[in-house]
Structure formats: C-alpha cells, structure tokens
A and B are shown apart, each in its own frame.
Chain A
Amino acid sequence: MDSQTIAVRQQEEIAHHEHDHPAYLRHHFETVEQQKEAASFGMWLFLLTEIMFFGGLFMAYLLYRNWYHDAFVSASNTIGIGLGTTNTAVLIVSSFTMAMGVYCAEKRNRRGLLVSLALTLVLGLVFLGIKSVEYHEKYVEHHIPGAGFSIEDFVHPHDKRDIPLSPDVAQHAQIFFFLYFAMTGMHALHMIIGVSILLVLIYRARQGAYTTGHTSTIDNFGLYWHFVDIVWIFLFPLLYLISRHPLH
C-alpha cells in the first residue's frame, strides 16, 4: 500500500466518522447486517454447546431405558399425562409470543414488544408453576429417588392385571426418576434463567432500548427461548409418551 492510498483511506475514515450511521454500529463492524450476522452466529455457537449438554442427558436416558426397560415403562406410566400436555402447549404458545416480540422489535413497535415479552414471561411462569405441581405429586407419591423411595406403584407393564414388579426390577424405577428430575430440572433451570432475563428485557424495553433498530439482544434471547422450547419438545415424548399403556 503506497502512501497515496493510505492518505485516501484516511480521508475515507474521516468521512466515515462524519457519516450518519446508527450509534449502535460498533466500530469493528462494517455494516449493521454484518454486526447482526456476527451476533446470531455467536448465539448459535452457544446453543450448540447446549445441544451437547442436554445431549449427554438424552444419551443416558436412551441407554438406561434399554437396560431397564420394564422399570422405565412402569415408572413412566405413573406420571400423569394431562399436566405434561398442558405444559407443552403453554411452552409452544410462549414461543409464539416470543417470536411476535422479535417481530415487534423489528417493526419498532414498543407497545407490541412489551405486550409480547410480558405474555412470554407469564406463560414461562405458568409452565414453572405447573412443573412444581408435578414435582409435588412425585413427592407425595414417594417417587423422588433416595431413602424415601417407594416401589409400591410399579406394576408389570405388559400385564393388564396390575401385577407388581419384583422388588429388584422395581428399584430401577429410581433411575428413571433420577433422570426425570435431572432432565426436567435442568430444563426448568433454563426456564428460570430465561424468565429472569425477560424481567431485565421488559425493564429495558420500557425505556425504548430495543425499538430503535438495534434488535440483536431481543433476537438472541428469542433464539435461547425457542431452544429451551425444543428441549421440552423432546423431553415430553421421551418421559411422558413413549411408554404409555394402551387404554384398556
């Protein structure tokens, strides 16, 4: 690069600073699109580590379900399907309201964004409320793994006469419930983190932070919220559905 080119570059730099570009465009990005792209790429890399994190739990579930199939089927059938289905619907609707929040932020609609985020927050709390009701049921039924675990409820999965499982087989139901609490607990922890971040986002959105064209924060939080939804989309069939007895 000769000195003349450098001089031209410097002049361009000066001109660039006088340009009317948005204040949120950081100096190490050339365009707003590039900045947006980098932000969502980074968020996706984080979500990939989350896939691996939950993936370990899914792998453990897959393996133990094959090892202790009868105990897992029997244990899964003691979980009520109603609350789980309701929670799935609640979470899917909350994903919709979050997607609407992203849309409103892009349309610079502050009111719409606030309503969407508030609805997402409420639905997130409803999910956690229903989840805690389910946890309480497990406590009452003595289905929390540990010294107080009761094997009374576990019956043979392929027999319509409700024959109890033999004690050594039934004990393996503890592994099912350990994985149940580990997986839904980790998912619930992600929900609690999500709900906490939502509170901050709502506070900042009231001040008009995300409706000036810079929507990366809302976009990335949306990705996080949808990812947590996807984890539940897989937890629901694995824990509640696939071992269900046919109606008899």
Chain B
Amino acid sequence: MSHPTLEDVHVGHHIVGPKIYLTILLILLCLTALTTGIAFVDLGIFSPIVAIGIAVIKATLVILFFMHVKYSSRLVKLTVASGFFTFLVLITMTLSDYISRAWGLW
C-alpha cells in the first residue's frame, strides 16, 4: 500500500468562464426580486422560512460557482461543509437550551 502521491491529490485546474458567472448573476438577481416580492404576501409563519430558504439557495450558488467550490478539491469542499455544519450545530444546541427552560417565560 503506497502513500498517495502528488498526482493523486492533484486537482485538474478548472477556470470558470463568464457564461456561468453571468447565468448565476441573473439567477441571483431574480431570486432577490422574488424574495422581496414574496415578503409582501401574507404567508404567516412560513414567511421567514421561505425568505431564509431563498437566502440559502442564493448563498449556495455563490459558494459553488463564484467561490469555485464546485470545482475545488475534496479538502476544500469538506472544509466549507464542516464550517457550516458546525455553525448549525451551535445554533441548534443554543436554541434547544433556551426552549427547554422556563416554559412560556422566555
């Protein structure tokens, strides 16, 4: 069993072109218009869920294409994913602490 050589971890260098950037730009602008429009529709408790959902889609597009993560090595992909995952874990644990104390008072 040999150690991985440089060739194994080498990632084909991929240059993302203006066409992809322009497509992503247009999608992002459309989503911005969409989320602003939806804000004026009464969705009750789903209003924040929809707004955050659209924001997550926009952020994912920026990360994958503008920040080249889609074309990056597994190391970078894992780093990015673990960062956001840790953030979600911290939010969840903090909130679960708050909602499980002093019912109705917080």
Which residues of A come within 8 Å of B, CB atoms? 30-31, 33-34, 36-37, 40-41, 44-45, 47-48, 51-52, 55, 58-59, 62-63, 66-67, 81, 85, 88-89, 92-93, 95-96, 98-100, 103, 106-107, 222-223, 226-227, 229-230, 233-234, 236-238, 240-242, 244, 246-247
Q: Which of B47-106 contact A (CB under 8 A)?
A: 47-48, 51-52, 54-55, 58-59, 62-63, 65-67, 72-73, 75-76, 79-80, 82-84, 86-87, 90-91, 94-95, 98, 106
Query: Which residues of the other chain, A, contact B84 by a CB distance below 8 angstroms?
Result: 51
Q: Which of B13, B21, B41, B55 contacts A233 (CB 8 A)?
A: B55
Q: Are B21 and A103 in contact (CB under 8 A)?
A: yes
The 10 closest A-B pairs by CB, nearest first: A246-B42, A237-B51, A48-B83, A241-B39, A242-B48, A96-B25, A244-B39, A99-B66, A230-B59, A92-B28
Q: Are B28 and A237 in contact (CB under 8 A)?
A: no
Q: Bound state CA distance, A44 and B36, in angstroms? A: 30
Q: Chain A's nearest CB lies how many Å from the CB of B62? A: 5
Looking across the interface, which residue of chain A has its beta carbon closest to that of B105? A67
Query: Which residues of the other chain, B, contact A47 by a CB distance below 8 angstroms?
Result: 83
Interface residues contributed by chain B, number (CB under 8 Å)? 51
Task: Classify the secondary structure of A's interface with B.
Answer: helix
Q: A51-B84, A55-B90 are in contact. Are A81 and B36 (CB under 8 A)?
A: yes
Which residues of B come within 8 Å of A, CB atoms? 6, 10-11, 13, 15-18, 21-22, 24-25, 28-29, 32, 35-36, 39-42, 47-48, 51-52, 54-55, 58-59, 62-63, 65-67, 72-73, 75-76, 79-80, 82-84, 86-87, 90-91, 94-95, 98, 106
Q: Chain B's nearest CB lies how many Å from the CB of A139? A: 25
Question: Among A34, A93, A222, A242, which residue has the most Cβ atoms of chain B within 10 A?
Answer: A242
